[in-house]
Structure 1
Amino acid sequence: MRNITIWKDIPLFKDLYPEDIEEILPLLRTMSFPKGKRIFDEGEPSHHAYIVISGAIKVYRTTQGREHTVDLLGQGDIFGDMELVDPIKERLLSVVSHRDSVVCVIDGKVFKQFIAQYPSVKDRLLQLQINRLILANEKLHEMKINDAKTRLMLALQKLYSKFGAQEEGRTIINLRLTHQDLADMVGTLRETVSLLLKDLQQQDVVQMQNQKIIIVNPEALMGFAKSE
């Protein structure tokens, strides 16, 4: 995959010159992961960082034998990097391909070389990690001040912004999501999410079909937080 334009769209490499990207491309490799393929598990040794080229990746943790979805990553998102730049030897979370995906795999030593050789990559990585902390704090804040409906709507907004697509004339979130996935993401019970989605369907905001979310009224969805 030597198309420079594709790599320039990756946030981590956005500030690099085309000749810089040409230089590092031989050090990168892409791998295809079919839906459901595990990429790494919590507790495994950390040897690589990853960038999503296409598809969707689920990040989760396991508690008392149950998987709890932490995040869903899309094109351009990086993962597995924290354990390489911090003195952590084991993976903190598990990662699986949520649908057929293509991922760039970067060897840990090469990754550290990038950071040392290209200041813009180091700056971008630092900003991405700061953004993660900000989002984590925002999520904790949302948990404290927002009810389950508001948290669900905010989660749907983020999913729509990242995975929104057109399919057969309909606007959809182009992922298959269970009610439990959504419950994990907003910090509530599956039964609560089921009731809230039923209400949203009755209000013609969304529809559920084969675990896909159809956005019937994008304006109502995206304007929800502003109007509350």
Structure 2
Amino acid sequence: MAGVEAICPPRRYRRGDAIFLQGDPATGFFILVEGRVRLILPTAKGERTVALLGDGDIFGESFLTGKPMQATTASVQSPEAVVCPISREQFLEIARTLPEVALAFAALLAERIGQLTEEMAQGTLPAPVRVGRLLLSLGQRFGQKKGRGIRLDLGLSQEELATFCGVTRVTVAQAFHLFRAEGIMEKEGSGYLLYPDRMEKLLEAWESS
């Protein structure tokens, strides 16, 4: 990152700032150094959150596909975020002077493709399982260990969580009620305490039933 930041100085953003909007020219990509960013897809029924990104994630890579415009809107979800914008020309310079960064970039893109494939496979699972899998994924990435559980407090509404896994807000609310009844999740202040081991066993049982 030190080498990258020397070529592409980072910028600071605040909660709610748009790093780019859908339809903006796709002239480069971005590395999220610190903070959280939501990728939003505006639809006729409102905004749909398609990804929540954290430290080290890459986004806005539409320029690699030859698309002239950004396909989504990137909005800062954390109180602050530090982002390195990288133009096409800067990326070529990085690839020339820091080839290991270019390889890491390719690995991240391959990982992203794998995640998308897994998400597509989960689309056929029962709705509560999809919600549970989403919570486990978010907990693993953004949660804080607390005893045998993981505290998850991202400030996301049930409506926003619903858009992640392609269900309705009512379905998320019903899943949360079911998880609390099964003792695999507890409400804790503004967030939730997840018990990943118990949740994993229950989700596996539902998937095989």
TM-score range, shorter chain: 0.7 to 0.9
Q: Which residue of 2 aligns with 1:25?
A: 5
The correspondence for 1:221, drawn from 199, 202, 209, is 199
Larger CA deviation: 28-37 vs 54-63: 28-37
Q: Return closer, same or farther for 1:142/1:47 CA change in 2, 3 Å cut-off.
A: same
Alignment of 1:159-174 (within 5 A): 159-166=138-145, 171-174=150-153
1:139 aligns with 2:119: yes
- Distance in 2, matches of 1:65 and 1:149, equals 23
- Distance in 2, matches of 1:214 and 1:111, equals 41
Aligned-partner SS, 2:134 = helix
CA contact (8 A) 2:20 2:73 kept: yes
The correspondence for 1:64, drawn from 5, 30, 44, is 44
1:55 aligns with 2:35: yes
- Distance in 2, matches of 1:25 and 1:103, equals 10
The correspondence for 2:53, drawn from 52, 56, 73, is 73
- Work out the percentage of aligned pairs sharing the same amino acid: 22
Aligned-partner SS, 2:10 = strand
Q: C-alpha deviations, 1:37-57, integer Å up to 9, x for none?
A: 111111110233211122111
CA contact (8 A) 2:149 2:196 kept: no
Q: Return closer, same or farther for 1:104/1:213 CA change in 2, 3 Å cut-off.
A: farther
TM-score by length of 1: 0.80
CA contact (8 A) 1:85 1:112 kept: no
- Distance in 2, matches of 1:174 and 1:36, equals 17
The correspondence for 1:194, drawn from 144, 153, 173, is 173
| Amino acid in the other structure paired with 1:58 | R
- Distance in 2, matches of 1:65 and 1:187, equals 13
What 5-or-longer segments of structure 2 have no aligned partner? none
CA contact (8 A) 1:59 1:94 kept: yes
Q: Which residue of 2 aligns with 1:34?
A: 14
TM-score by length of 2: 0.87
Where has structure 1 moved over 6 Å in runs of 4 or more? Answer: none
1:111 aligns with 2:91: yes
The alpha carbon displacement at 1:63 in A equals 0.6
| Amino acid in the other structure paired with 1:132 | R
Q: C-alpha deviations, 1:22-51, integer Å up to 9, x for none?
A: 4x4321212221111111111110233211
| Amino acid in the other structure paired with 2:59 | F
Q: C-alpha deviations, 1:67-99, integer Å up to 9, x for none?
A: 00101001111111x222221110011110011
Aligned residue pairs total 205
The alpha carbon displacement at 1:179 in A equals 0.4
